Amino acid sequence: MRTDFGIHMRGGVITERDADFCTIRIRAPAGVYSVEQLRGIATIAKKYSTGAVHCTTRQTLEIPHVNPAQLKKIEKALAKNETPVGSEKDEIVNIIACPGIERCKFANIDTIGLAKKIDHQLFGKEMPVKMRIALSGCPNACTSPMLNEIGVIGRVRPLRTPGLCTGCGSCVQFCKEKAIVIRNGISELKDEKCVECGVCVQSCHFDLLKAEHRHYLITVGGRRGRHPKIGRQLLTVETEEQVLFAIQKIVDWVYRRAWSGRLLSEQLDEINFEKFRQDIEKQIAAGVTNPVKKSSP
Confidence of residue 7 (pLDDT cuts 50, 70, 90): confident
Predicted local distance difference test score (pLDDT) of residue 4: 52
Question: In one letter, which amino acid is 31?
Answer: G
Sequence-separated (6 or more) residues with CB below 8 Å from residue 25: 11, 12, 13, 14, 56, 60, 61, 62, 85, 86, 87, 88, 94
Give the model confidence (pLDDT) of 123-160 as tens digits.
999 999 999 999 999 999 999 999 999 999 999 999 88
Confidence of residue 293 (pLDDT cuts 50, 70, 90): low
More confident residue, 143 or 2: 143
**DSSP percent split of the chain into helix, strand, coil, nearest 5:** 30, 20, 45
Predicted local distance difference test score (pLDDT) of residue 295: 47
Confidence of residue 186 (pLDDT cuts 50, 70, 90): confident
DSSP single-letter state for residue 40: H
Could you tell me which of 97, 195, 110, 182 has the C-alpha nearest to residue 143?
97
Rounded Cα–Cα distance for residues 266 and 256 (Å): 16
Q: Is the pTM of this model over 0.95?
A: no
Could you tell me which of 90, 151, 77 has the C-alpha nearest to residue 118?
151
Could you tell me which of 129, 150, 126 has the C-alpha nearest to residue 250?
150
Helices and strands of the chain, counted as H and E runs: 7, 11
Quick check: is 295 in a domain? Answer: no
291 pLDDT higher than 70: no
Confidence of residue 1 (pLDDT cuts 50, 70, 90): very low
Quick check: is 26 in a domain? Answer: yes
One domain, residues 233 and 187: no
One domain, residues 139 and 226: yes
Residue 64 CB neighbour total at 10 angstroms: 17
Residue 224 CB neighbour total at 10 angstroms: 12
Last residue of a domain, one of 214, 230, 263: 214
- Output the average pLDDT for the chain: 93
Q: What is the CATH number of the domain that holds 18?
A: 3.30.70.3340
Give the model confidence (pLDDT) of 202-253 as tens digits.
899 888 888 888 999 999 999 999 999 999 999 999 999 999 999 999 999 9
Give the chain's radius of gyration (CA, Å): 22
One domain, residues 69 and 48: yes
Give the model confidence (pLDDT) of 30-67 as tens digits.
999 999 999 999 999 999 999 999 999 999 999 999 99
Last residue of a domain, one of 55, 80, 105: 80
Structural domain boundaries, residue 12: 7-80
Confidence of residue 164 (pLDDT cuts 50, 70, 90): confident
Q: What is the CATH number of the domain that holds 114?
A: 3.30.413.10
Q: What is the CATH number of the domain that holds 209?
A: 3.30.70.20
- Domains in the chain: how many in total? 3
Predicted local distance difference test score (pLDDT) of residue 30: 97
